[in-house]
Copies of this chain bind each other. A is one copy, B any other.
């Protein structure tokens, strides 16, 4: 059947292009620049689909990822991850070829950056807008000022503005996302206003997938960097950020054994393919993926009611049936499509073995 004989990441080109179109149109209508995050797909082919919409600047999360996309002709890249000093040599090389922006996330991180970069490079100060992952405390304007001055004293380094990832929007419904977004946006706009007199060209770079999808007010924001929206996934669908019909990536997995007496089935598709990320079903149970029928043309159905992935080990996935009759919809030997909990990690797990449908 359809040439698939092992766990394989499938990308539905039409759904994916529709998602790109949605975000490009939204950014245009809100007057913000879309600098999509390519960490989700990490795929040169998918990257090219963005070009057809006039996208010419991108975000990545590591130096090796920047090198990969620079090789495919992307020449304006922001590495939205704190500066890694052990990568200084690679960064200097890359900055000779393309317009490069980096992120500075602490005072010592800034010192390491200022001491090791010789090429013309832009930098953003990362602000923690509530995720508590990395970045300056927005209220510590004194430390922020010292840091900007430290780096700006180097003539090759240009201060671009403030960057944040309000990743605490993940796992929330649209109305909650909008509340988080409003707070994070106000924090960032306040900070920009504080520094704009001294640095009139600074911008705010912002925008995770939930807020970029659900929010409407982007006043004061200059640029958004969502990534996940290119595929979406069950974490987003289960929170009503998207629908299951928007999900553009699925993992094709062979069904190997079915156990009607214990309402379960085993698939070849485990943590090394889907990652151990999960979402919550309406009854509060954890699910690692939704189960769909796979068509001959590699498109897939809507999720089968009553089936979900209850647990994963390295190569095994265990499907549980909340409705025993749902098990009869799949059979041993069949290849099914699993909508992943978190498409960014699933795509990264499976590496470059992506198959495109339609």
Contacts and interface: CB of A to CB of B under 8 A. Distances in A.
Interface of A: 1, 4-6, 39, 61-64, 81-87, 90, 105-106, 108-109, 111-112, 132-134, 137, 167, 254, 256-259, 261-262, 264, 266, 268, 271-272, 275-277, 311, 313-316, 318, 331-333, 335, 344-345, 348-349, 351
A332 to B, nearest CB: 4
B6 A345 contact: no
Given A87-B6, A167-B313, A314-B348, A82 B257 contact: yes
Contacts of A112: 332-333
A272 B84 CA distance: 17
Given A258-B108, A271-B345, A277-B271, A333 B81 contact: no
A311 B256 contact: no
A275 B345 CA distance: 9
Contact of A256 (B134, B268, B333): B134
Contacts of A261: 137
Contacts of A349: 272, 349
B109 A256 contact: yes
A254 B6 contact: no
21 contacts: A1-B86, A6-B84, A6-B86, A39-B314, A62-B315, A81-B316, A82-B256, A82-B266, A82-B268, A86-B254, A86-B333, A108-B257, A109-B332, A134-B318, A137-B261, A137-B262, A271-B277, A271-B345, A275-B275, A276-B277, A351-B351
Query: Which 6 pairs from chain A and chain B are nearest by CB?
Result: A106-B257, A5-B86, A82-B256, A108-B332, A134-B266, A276-B276
Contacts of A335: 86
Contacts of A313: 133, 167
